[in-house]
Structure 1
Amino acid sequence: MANKITPFLWFNDNAEEAIQFYSSVFKNAKTYDMTRYGDGAPFPKGTLMSATFELEGQRFMALNAGPHFKFNEAVSFYVNCATQEEVDELWEKLTANGGEPGRCGWLKDRFGLSWQIVPTVLGELLADPDARKANNVMQAMLQMDKIEIQALKQALEK
């Protein structure tokens, strides 16, 4: 069953490449409903027009529609990670080949799409009932690009 709300991603002309890339990054990925441009279209015949794909249970739609709009940081995809290994793997894959690391777990992939790669434990540590400890975690996180769980735990105990 499709999601009630599905993020819709506008690409210039590389939606198919993006779908293949995201499907290689996330372990649970599927592609559905690929539609291709025909004769007389603004793209060469056979170019992907639109597709629905799924990453870790979240459906997305992708469209090749030209250079009119670009992604920006006002919208990002938050990925909740159970382990440091998962954070490391996703960070490495999503920043590869032209992606850009950002602060506090944020990054841009090579298509310009923003992601937040965040370990689940961050929320737990920030919610510590001791405000001083929670603030220590916040201050440590604010100094990081990729979030490091061990450093957060050490900050909690300072």
Structure 2
Amino acid sequence: MAIAKNTICVWYDKNAEEAARFYAEVFPDSAVGAVHRAPGDYPAGQEGDVLMVEFTVAGIPCLGLNGGPSIKHSEAFSFQISTEDQEETDRYWNAIVGNGGQENACGWCKDKWGISWQITPRVLMEAMAAGGGEAKRAFAAMMDMRKIDVAAIEAARRG
């Protein structure tokens, strides 16, 4: 097994494998790799419990750690998924929110495990990169949204 030089480690209470399998079903270039079981008892579990799960989300290597309920997630960490159009934006947003997650503002949502996701259409990032009035209008439009409306961002870009 080749070990990546840099891997994102995401702490879960006890559902790392379930989360990894969900991400692998939803996002392209995602997969579940090795599932490691605890070689002995630990504060959040027992010998034989799933301790770590190697997985990939949209090409990014991750490790899910079942560390117990003591660590809580916040928006300080999120996965940002770039989308090409409204259909792709809707598909990812609906998969996360519709499976026990919750909506948040400005294209952010949380999955049922508390992990934050930014479902971000490329048109929004392009508008921000353009700067000036185009960025200002797109930013103002985004501030009133939950899931990003691609057509509304495009209209704001045009003024």
TM over 0.5: yes
Aligned counterparts, 1:86-101, within 5 A: 86-101=88-103
Q: How does 1:1-158 map to 2 (within 5 A)?
A: 2-38=3-39, 40=41, 43-128=45-130, 131-158=132-159
Alpha-carbon distance, 1:85 to partner: 1.2
List runs of 5+ in structure 1 lacking aligned partners.
none
| Distance in 1, Cα, partners of 2:81 & 2:3 | 20
Aligned-partner residue type, residue 18 of structure 2 = E
Change (3 A) 1:118 1:34: same
Q: What one-letter code is carried by the residue in structure 2 that aligns with 1:151?
A: A
Structure 2 gaps of 5+ residues are none
For residue 60 of structure 1, report the CA deviation from its aligned partner.
0.3
TM-fit CA distance, 1:41 = 5.0
Deviation at 1:100, TM superposition (A): 0.9
1:132 deviates by 2.6
Q: CA deviation at 1:105?
A: 0.7
Q: Distance in 1 between matches of 2:11 and 2:113?
A: 11
Q: Which runs of 4+ in 1 moved over 3 A?
A: 38-42
Q: Distance in 2 between matches of 1:30 and 1:97?
A: 19
Over 3 Å counting, the alpha-carbon distance change for 1:145 and 1:40 in structure 2 is closer
CA contact 2:55–2:61 (8 Å) conserved in 1:
yes
Letter in 2 for 1:103: A
Identical amino acids, percent of aligned pairs: 36
Write the distance in 2 (CA, Å) between the matches of 1:59 and 1:26.
13
Give the aligned CA root-mean-square deviation in angstroms: 1.8
AA in 1 matched with 2:51? M
Kept after mapping to 1: 8 A contact 2:28/2:58: yes
Q: Contact 2:37–2:47 (CA<8 Å) still a contact in 1?
A: yes
* TM-score scaled by length of structure 1: 0.89
With 28-37 and 95-104 compared, the bigger mean Cα shift is at 28-37
Q: Secondary structure at the match of 2:112?
A: coil
**Aligned CA distance change for structure 1 residues 128 and 66 (closer, same or farther; 3 Å):** closer
**Pair 1:113–1:143, CA change in 2 (3 A):** same
Deviation at 1:47, TM superposition (A): 2.4
Distance 2:31 2:158 in 1: 42
Measured in 2, the distance between the counterparts of 1:107 and 1:41 equals 32
- Letter of the structure 1 residue corresponding to residue 71 of structure 2: F
